[in-house]
């Protein structure tokens, strides 16, 4: 197949929450309609915690949803990802710079001085007191020092245009573009992240999020859709942009799914085919693409529950049926997204298509 739908690498944490499976369920459905391979990408590399147990539990629940496709695990691709880092070095995208940054004793705080003023106050992971910066983990004062670091220079990407769907998300893209396109990002860390490379005889620890951020370059399908919840648009933008560094011609489409609040009132466990269909279809039919956030509607789940098993099966089949005549990826994706409409699906079901 020439097409792939790939999730942004998801964290396997909180596998007991149903919301953790919305992106795979939507991605799998879109892949089926588009005639694309589906990949559940998982971020299990973590320099702080061992995610093995979470990963096993997540995969168990995932298997119960019976989604077809392949699992792509970042930690099984470390070598290839490091090869990409070296390629970015040889092409001049990654370079060494002197930067001034704040660091603490445990190494969790490692931030460039110039970013301090523009940092989102809600996302700050340090404590500011009497004009000094403290680490909330090791409680030490962060010290400012100049050091050598590796940076990814986004200004060198020739064709940085990326496409988001639904269209309203392109406003976010513009914000990110202004932040990054003529700028750089520090990609090395003072602490040992477990991943290191040699740059001109010097050893650097590489930031894990940067490393897996290169993953799109490892997929061979020329037409790609990358999907994640719309709370992670910045990461989504970054993977799209990073792909452009070594694949200028890429036309990857980045999809942000609406955030369904309250969904975790339902457990992620599945015990029968009935339940499986109710949860899968219930999630798909709760999605309203033009909305960024939406309270999930239990009435939709209940409405599906009332349908006879045969009708539930038929409904899911209709939702997943591949488009007969393929057009451009963007057009086909728009068609696929339009299927998320309960009234329309019930009409089709009544017609007995
Ligand atoms: Zn610390």
**CA 55 – ligand 1 centroid, Å:** 27
- Ligand 1 centroid to Cα of residue 142, in Å, is 8
The Å distance, Cα 31 to ligand 1 centre, comes to: 42
DSSP code at position 294: E
Q: Give pLDDT, residue 121.
A: 55
Q: What DSSP string runs through 90-135?
A: HTTSEEEEEEEEEE-SSSS-EEEGGGTTTS-GGG--SEEETTEEE-
- Identify the pLDDT of residue 295: 92
pLDDT at 190: 87
d(CA 7, CA 39): 7
Cα-to-centroid distance, 269 and ligand 1 (Å): 37
* CA of 103 relative to ligand 1 center, distance in Å: 8
User: Beta partners for 197?
Assistant: 204
CA of 106 to the centre of ligand 1 (A): 4
Distance 5 CA to ligand 1 centre (A): 38
**Cα 118 to ligand 1 centre (Å):** 21
Ligand 1 center to residue 74 CA distance, Å? Answer: 26
* DSSP letters for 171-198: HHHHHHHHHHTT-EEE-EESS--S-EEE
CA of 73 to the centre of ligand 1 (A): 29
What the block records as the tokens of 23 is 């992106």
CA 313/CA 85 separation, integer angstroms: 46
Q: Could you tell me the distance, in angstroms and rounded to a whole number, from the CA of residue 115 to the centre of ligand 1?
A: 18
Distance 196 CA to ligand 1 centre (A): 21
- How far, in Å, is the centroid of ligand 1 from the Cα of 47? 14
- Beta-carbon neighbours within 5 Å of ion ligand 1: 104, 106, 108, 135, 137-138
Distance 75 CA to ligand 1 centre (A): 25
Q: How far is the CA of 192 from the centre of ligand 1 (A)?
A: 13
163 CA to centre of ligand 1 in angstroms: 38
Residue 47 is predicted with a pLDDT of 64
Q: Distance, CA 172 to ligand 1 centroid (Å)?
A: 32
**CA triplet 207, 208, 214: central angle to 5 degrees?**
100
Residue 134 CA, ligand 1 centroid: distance in Å: 8
Q: How far is the CA of 94 from the centre of ligand 1 (A)?
A: 27
Residue 120's pLDDT is 62
**Cβ neighbours for 101, distance < 8 A, ≥ 6 positions apart:** 110, 111, 112, 113, 144, 145, 147, 149, 186, 190
Query: What are the 10-residue block averages of pLDDT along the chain, 353 residues in total?
Result: 95 90 96 97 84 92 93 96 97 96 89 78 75 89 94 93 93 86 90 91 94 97 96 94 95 95 88 94 94 92 95 95 95 95 89 71
Full-model pTM: 0.92
CA of 193 from ligand 1 middle (Å) equals 14
Judge contact between 283 and 316, C-beta under 8 A. no
| Gap from CA of 143 to ligand 1 centroid (Å) | 11
pLDDT of residue 233: 92
**What is the token pair recorded at 107?**
């190494």
């Amino acid at each position: 197949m020439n097409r792939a739908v790939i999730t942004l690498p998801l964290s396997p944490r909180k596998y007991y929450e149903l919301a953790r499976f919305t992106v795979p369920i939507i991605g799998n459905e879109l892949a089926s309609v588009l005639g694309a391979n589906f990949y559940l990408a998982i971020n299990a590399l973590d320099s702080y915690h061992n995610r093995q147990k979470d990963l096993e539990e997540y995969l168990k629940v995932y298997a119960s949803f019976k989604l077809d496709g392949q699992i792509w695990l970042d930690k099984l691709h470390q070598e290839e990802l490091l090869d990409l880092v070296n390629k970015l070095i040889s092409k001049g995208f990654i370079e060494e710079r002197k930067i001034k940054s704040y660091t603490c004793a445990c190494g969790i705080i490692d931030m460039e001085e110039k970013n301090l003023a523009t940092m989102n106050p809600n996302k700050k992971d340090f404590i500011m007191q009497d004009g000094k910066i403290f680490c909330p983990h090791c409680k030490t004062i962060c010290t400012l020092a100049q050091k050598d670091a590796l940076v990814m220079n986004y200004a060198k990407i020739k064709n940085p245009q990326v496409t988001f769907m639904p269209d309203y998300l392109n406003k976010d893209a513009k914000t990110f573009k202004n932040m990054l396109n003529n700028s750089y990002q520090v990609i090395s860390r003072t602490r040992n992240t477990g991943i290191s490379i040699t740059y001109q005889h010097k050893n650097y620890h590489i930031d894990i999020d940067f490393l897996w951020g290169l993953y799109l370059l490892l997929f061979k399908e020329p037409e790609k859709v990358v999907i994640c919840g719309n709370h992670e648009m910045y990461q989504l933008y970054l993977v799209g942009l990073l792909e452009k560094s070594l694949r200028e011609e890429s036309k990857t489409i980045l999809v942000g799914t609406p955030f369904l609040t309250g969904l975790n009132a339902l457990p992620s466990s599945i015990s029968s085919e009935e339940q499986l269909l109710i949860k899968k279809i219930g999630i798909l039919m709760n999605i309203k693409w033009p909305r960024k956030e939406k309270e999930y509607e239990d009435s939709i789940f209940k409405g599906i529950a009332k349908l006879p098993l045969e009708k539930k099966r038929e409904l899911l089949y209709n939702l997943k049926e591949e488009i007969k005549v393929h057009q451009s990826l963007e057009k086909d994706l728009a068609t696929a997204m339009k299927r998320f409409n309960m009234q329309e699906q019930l009409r089709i079901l009544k017609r007995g298509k």
